[in-house]
């Protein structure tokens, strides 16, 4: 079968690789849509494992089922979580599934930018979800990223009536805007430097959109009657954005570090100010199956609309161009690869 093999952001090659062979408890999924995640183009994060077939935001059809599989059959429409927790370790029992050893070691084979993937038995058991008829394969690729956003906002104390500032209106930032609105935010404010993405933030429901080169804290406090935002979501891991976040959060608020810096990089944080104003720094990683399932329900109900976020579609033969576009982000939001499409659309 064919797969897009990642060497670096500017070197993605379509190669012949062995079609996976499934065993007992496993399924083979024909991948029909696979989204490029922001983490897929974080070169410092991915290149250490190259060459590799990436892609974890997938949806498709069950092609084969292994012995003992009862919940799924050939022809079923599914989305699959690549990381799944054990649900029994001390971390899982505390609700901290993201740091479970199993979650950090599980995956499917080889990756979503391939014509087929083998889904291990543990992923079949707790990370494979049937798609409602009303949810398209493209929409289903958002279950994992929306699940990550849901987990982050939940850990940040999101509740009806809270105000939210989203710094960076890329794909994850837009999902934060839409989910915050769906969860009853009193006000949602967004920033970016791109006119294209600022307009996307408005379309997504932001009550105020600020150019990131302006005095963001002053604009936020002016809009909020002198207060900062209850929750600040940092989707741009640069020092200027971090400084804006610290100056824009309200007392007793929280800052969600959604986009990470490279390992070894430092953050310009005044710990005294955090202590004085009781500011909470929140970290969030991954989308355990429970969050992914809720995300799928939000998409099915249209409480969070995602279909219009797909701006670019590529056949597997165009994977290199897809990665170039996703890594530059110029007038693009969500890029998907369709491994069985004959041409780009």
Question: Domain containing 225: what range?
Answer: 157-283
Kindly state whether residues 21 and 124 are assigned to the same domain.
Answer: yes
The residues pairing with 27 across neighbouring beta strands, listed in sequence order, are 65, 119
Please state, rounded to an integer, the average pLDDT across all residues of the chain. Answer: 95
* pLDDT digits 0-9 by tens, 86-128: 999 999 999 999 999 999 999 999 999 999 999 999 999 999 9
Kindly state whether residues 108 and 125 are assigned to the same domain.
Answer: yes
CATH number of the domain that residue 258 is part of = 3.40.50.720
* pLDDT digits 0-9 by tens, 180-195: 999 999 999 999 999 9
- Domain count across the chain: 2
| % the chain with pLDDT above 90 | 89
User: What mean pLDDT do residues 313-319 have?
Assistant: 96
Q: Would the pLDDT of 72 be above 70?
A: yes
Q: Would the pLDDT of 270 be above 90?
A: no
Kindly state whether residues 136 and 13 are assigned to the same domain.
Answer: yes
* pLDDT digits 0-9 by tens, 235-257: 998 999 999 999 999 999 999 99
Q: What's the CA gap between 69 and 314, in Å, rounded?
A: 33
């Amino acid at each position: 079968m064919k797969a897009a093999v990642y060497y670096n952001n500017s070197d993605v090659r379509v190669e012949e690789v062995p079609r996976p062979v499934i065993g007992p408890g496993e399924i083979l999924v024909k991948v029909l849509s696979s989204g490029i995640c922001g983490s897929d183009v974080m070169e410092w994060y991915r290149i250490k494992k190259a060459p590799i077939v990436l892609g974890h935001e997938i949806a498709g059809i069950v092609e084969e089922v292994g012995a003992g599989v009862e919940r799924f059959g050939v022809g079923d429409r599914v989305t699959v979580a690549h990381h799944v927790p054990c649900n029994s370790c001390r971390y899982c029992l505390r609700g901290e599934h993201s740091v479970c050893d199993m979650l950090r070691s599980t995956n499917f084979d080889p990756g979503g930018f391939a014509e087929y993937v083998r889904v291990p038995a543990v992923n079949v058991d707790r990370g494979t979800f049937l798609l409602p008829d009303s949810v398209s394969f493209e929409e289903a690729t958002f279950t994992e990223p929306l699940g990550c956003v849901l987990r982050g906002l939940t850990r940040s104390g999101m509740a009806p009536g809270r105000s939210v500032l989203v710094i960076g209106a890329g794909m994850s930032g837009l999902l934060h805007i839409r989910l915050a609105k769906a969860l009853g935010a009193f006000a949602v404010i967004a920033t970016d430097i791109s006119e294209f993405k600022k307009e996307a933030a408005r379309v997504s429901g932001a009550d105020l959109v600020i150019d990131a080169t302006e005095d963001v804290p002053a604009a936020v406090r002016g809009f909020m009657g002198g207060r900062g935002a209850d929750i600040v979501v940092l989707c741009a891991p640069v020092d200027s954005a971090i400084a804006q976040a610290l100056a824009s959060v309200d007392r007793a608020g929280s800052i969600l570090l959604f986009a990470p810096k490279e390992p070894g990089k430092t953050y310009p944080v005044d710990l005294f100010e955090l202590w004085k104003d009781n500011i909470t720094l929140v970290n969030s990683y991954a989308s355990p199956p429970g969050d992914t399932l809720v995300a799928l329900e939000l998409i099915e109900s249209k409480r969070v609309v995602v279909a219009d976020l797909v701006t670019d579609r590529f056949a597997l033969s165009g994977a290199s161009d897809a990665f170039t576009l996703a890594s530059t982000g110029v007038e693009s939001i969500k890029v998907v690869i369709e491994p069985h499409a004959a041409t780009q659309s």
